Amino acid sequence: MMDDHRILPTPREAPSHAARRAPSRPRQLMAWFIIALTLLLIVTIALSKLAPTHLTGRSQKAVSTSVNVSSSEPFTCDTTFGPGTILKSFPCIPLEISPEEFFENLSQKGGNVGAMFKYAPNSASKWEVYNSSLPNYTTQTLSEFGRFDGVYFVMKGSERLVYLGYMPASINVPMKAGWNLVGYPATQNRQLGIGLSTINTSYTVVKTLEGTAETGTYLVDTPPPGGETLTELELYHGYWINLTSAKEWSVAK
């Protein structure tokens, strides 16, 4: 029975001496070059017809999140803070960054940061804490923070932050009913009425710490905006905002 899957010819099928003579090397190289060029052309044409979703595995329509990453632009945070207890936010950092990664961008590598506090209303203590004086084996409850967050820093001395990040064209900060401690993720200061225009009818109080908790004061406003001591939203400030219902605060860069 003939084997249909054989590769090598049987002796009877061996070609004549003239047929067995291999083609010259230049002809072989030219043949392989033509084959490779043809395959490359086929692959290029095939890839050009694929939609971006086939290459990335993500649908463009699915990128309907709070951050418009498609139009993000470079933005460098450059601010100095300390000593004392201060309330800060940083628009250039990502949505999640660990304290250790953040410290790498400080002039003293976080050596002057005594502690950090982030408001966590759903936790038992209402706060997440990072304390640099605790030993390494101690669990720090504040493991990450981001551009949405206002954070208290207890500073033993001065630190300068220089951080090259990216700012989306617009951003929506999710907030719950009641008190929220949020950052101000923008690239410029704005009058309070303009900056809070999307939640002007939904907040009862907004305030920020001016200076340090030891020697400064809280600037406060109640609706309509801009009628009391707080009249402007400023870069690198954190803000307490009390809402009557859950809202998203839309902030233009």
In three-state form (DSSP H/G/I as H, E/B as E, the rest C), the secondary structure along 188-221 is CCEEHHHHCCCCCCCEEEEEEEECCCCCCEEEEE
Per 3-state DSSP, the chain is made up of helix, strand and coil in percentages (nearest 5) of 20, 35, 45
Confidence of residue 37 (pLDDT cuts 50, 70, 90): low
- Which residues, 6+ apart, have CB-to-CB distance to 235 below 8 Å? 79, 91, 184, 186, 187, 188, 189
Over residues 119-142, the mean pLDDT reads 89
Q: Is pLDDT above 50 for 61?
A: no
Q: For 133-155, write each residue's pLDDT tens digit.
A: 888 777 899 999 999 999 999 99
Q: What is the pLDDT of residues 161-192, one digit of tens each?
A: 999 999 887 799 999 999 999 999 999 999 99
Is 0.75 topped by the overall pTM?
A: no
Local structure of residue 11 (DSSP, 8 states) = G
CB 10, CB 2: distance < 8 Å: no
Length of the chain: 253
pLDDT exceeds 60 at position 46: no
**What mean pLDDT is reported for the chain?**
81
Q: Looking at the predicted structure, is the pLDDT value of residue 71 above 80?
A: no
pLDDT for the residue 194: 95
User: pLDDT: is 100 or 50 the higher one?
Assistant: 100
